[in-house]
Chains A and B, each alone.
Chain A
Amino acid sequence: MPIDRAAAITYATKFWNRACDDEKIAITPGWLPLADQRKHMHAPASDGWEVFFVATPTTKETAVFRRTVNGVVEQKPHVVVTNDQLDDCTHYVSRCVVKEGIKVTETFRANELITSLIAADSTKVLAERVARDEGQKIIDSSIFKPGDIIGFYNKSKGDRYSHSAMFTGPATSTPGVVGGLTCHSSCRFGGLTKDWNGDADDGWFLYELDGQSYTLIHFSEDDAALMPSTMKWLAGWWQVDKRFYFVEERGSARSTTRKPSSARETQHGDSRAYLFQGKDQVTFIWRSLHGGGAIQVETWAAGINDQTTVKVQIGSAQVVARRMF
């Protein structure tokens, strides 16, 4: 089943502020099937009752049964789930990912979902536990697309992923424009949140906390394939400024400060890049192999005749990459 980002966004557009279509909500410490709640509160789906996450004067959100009859919103007086118990973020993201056509083990644990996505063959981890400004470089590159996933890692909260969300895209592709996200508990959708519950936080980074960092996971199935003609001249060793890059034929690269002695030498390096084919360029997105650190987005001019030197744009700077062997 091919990846369907539009399906994920369509699903999220409907369910971002209401219970998922599988009729259960993740609460602490487990699942809450809605069937019993519907029976208990006389709120059958056939009568139009749905569980919405709504803000109250004192709590950020609670889950309640609502329906609209002739334009009038009706709400059951009792709360389905209190704010204390709501923990539906990763369940919701899992459902979005499933709708996107990605095979994933359904879970409500953020750490479990994010670590499994990091390890999956279908993903490219463009940033792992980086600061907001570093993550924004990836948003600006336009490689990160709606339907991709963000993991929120918090050192002060158990040294683990404690939250997950799906990227909904920036309003424009202008560098620096913050893209939106969608998540549950609390419910958010880029650009829609404030009108629903008064909360203005729905940028991709959500908000900045001490010890918080971001992991950006990209589904790569619908990326343009790297052209064989490109890889023919790009694969191998290059020197860029004081660093040495080894570009692998499979579309990734490693970076090291140790000069290689031969074309056959391979080094582990301390940074890794994924390569993305553009119309007249190849984009390298570098990240540290050890997590954290800086993200570097490079644009290599492709399709030139002289294949031993290439113009490389790194931010506002331009350098020349020179083939070594």
Chain B
Amino acid sequence: MKTTLATIIRCAIASFGLLLVSTSAMSQDVIPLDTIVILQSGACEMGCPVYRIVIFADGDVLFQGRSRVRRTGAALTKIDPDRVQQILERFKQIDFNRIEDIYGLHGTGCTKTLPDQPIVILSLSTGGFSKTVTHHRGCVSDVSKSISLLEDSIVKLSNTGQWAKAQWAK
């Protein structure tokens, strides 16, 4: 009986913990101070812009253009906390903490994989929750499409779109 009660208590604590993570991680009101969003967009065969974006809780944004982008090297910008909140909201909309870790290429969950698309590594740490999704943008599926839209919105909302835009040397 004691064991059963202890088990119930442990389950209750665990459930509360999970609830706490899921609610605090995706809260609409407060941006946890440990919040970091990282988006790394990679290369593709015919040439794709390669860059990294890091977004902090206070709205600081780091951009590193690596190749085939309008701006190469590091750049810093600042966005309104509301925008950080909007980005977190987008993560919540696609149920980021429940989707698979890998989409496309050698992952599962794609009806087919389109060629010449970059792999985007997307990480979210917030409120003690942390997750990384490796996403081949050529992966054809509803989930992949929603991840692509999330990635696009991160670039747009982080005010780095003008730097991340593709540019090729002639």
B-side interface residues, number (CB < 8 Å): 24
Inter-chain contact B66/A84, CB cutoff 8 Å: yes
CB nearest to B51 among chain A residues: A84
Of the four ranges (under 10, 10 to 19, 20 to 34, 35 or more), the interface on chain A belongs to 20 to 34
Within 8 A of B (CB), among A158-193: 158, 160, 162-163, 185-186
Name the segment of A53-61, A225-233, A264-272, A286-294 touching the other chain.
A53-61
Inter-chain contact B119/A58, CB cutoff 8 Å: yes
Q: How far is B42's CA from A84's CA once the two chains are assembled, in angstroms?
A: 5
- Judged by a CB distance under 8 angstroms, whether B116 is at the interface is yes
Choose one: A59, A60, A163; the contact of B46 (CB below 8 Å). Answer: A163
Choose one: B45, B134, B166, B170; the contact of A111 (CB below 8 Å). Answer: B170
Shortest distance in angstroms between B145's beta carbon and chain A's nearest beta carbon? 17
Shortest distance in angstroms between A280's beta carbon and chain B's nearest beta carbon? 42
Q: Taking each of B115, B166, B167, which has the highest tally of chain A beta carbons within 10 Å of its own beta carbon?
A: B115
What is the predominant secondary structure among interface residues of chain B facing chain A? loop
Shortest distance in angstroms between A109's beta carbon and chain B's nearest beta carbon? 7
CB nearest to A184 among chain B residues: B45
Inter-chain contact B43/A86, CB cutoff 8 Å: yes
Known: A83-B42, A207-B115. A157 touches B47 (CB 8 A): yes
With a CB–CB cut-off of 8 A, which chain A residues contact B70? none
Inter-chain contact A162/B105, CB cutoff 8 Å: no
Q: Taking each of B47, B167, B168, which has the highest tally of chain A beta carbons within 10 Å of its own beta carbon?
A: B47
Interface digits, A204-224 against B, CB 8 Å rule (1 contact, 0 not)? 001101001000000000000
Interface digits, A44-68 against B, CB 8 Å rule (1 contact, 0 not)? 0000000000011111100000000
Inter-chain contact A57/B106, CB cutoff 8 Å: yes
What is the predominant secondary structure among interface residues of chain A facing chain B? loop
- Judged by a CB distance under 8 angstroms, whether A37 is at the interface is no
With a CB–CB cut-off of 8 A, which chain B residues contact A55? 106
Inter-chain contact B134/A186, CB cutoff 8 Å: no
Shortest distance in angstroms between A25's beta carbon and chain B's nearest beta carbon? 13
CB nearest to B72 among chain A residues: A29
Inter-chain contact A163/B45, CB cutoff 8 Å: yes
Inter-chain contact A157/B166, CB cutoff 8 Å: yes
Q: How far is B42's CA from A185's CA once the two chains are assembled, in angstroms?
A: 13
In order of increasing CB-CB distance, the 8 nearest A-B pairs are A158-B168, A28-B67, A207-B115, A162-B47, A162-B46, A84-B42, A58-B134, A57-B106
User: Can you identify 23 A-B contacts, CB atoms within 8 angstroms?
Assistant: A28-B43, A28-B67, A56-B106, A58-B106, A59-B105, A60-B119, A83-B42, A83-B43, A85-B50, A87-B67, A111-B170, A157-B47, A157-B166, A158-B47, A158-B166, A160-B168, A160-B170, A163-B47, A185-B43, A185-B45, A201-B115, A206-B45, A207-B115
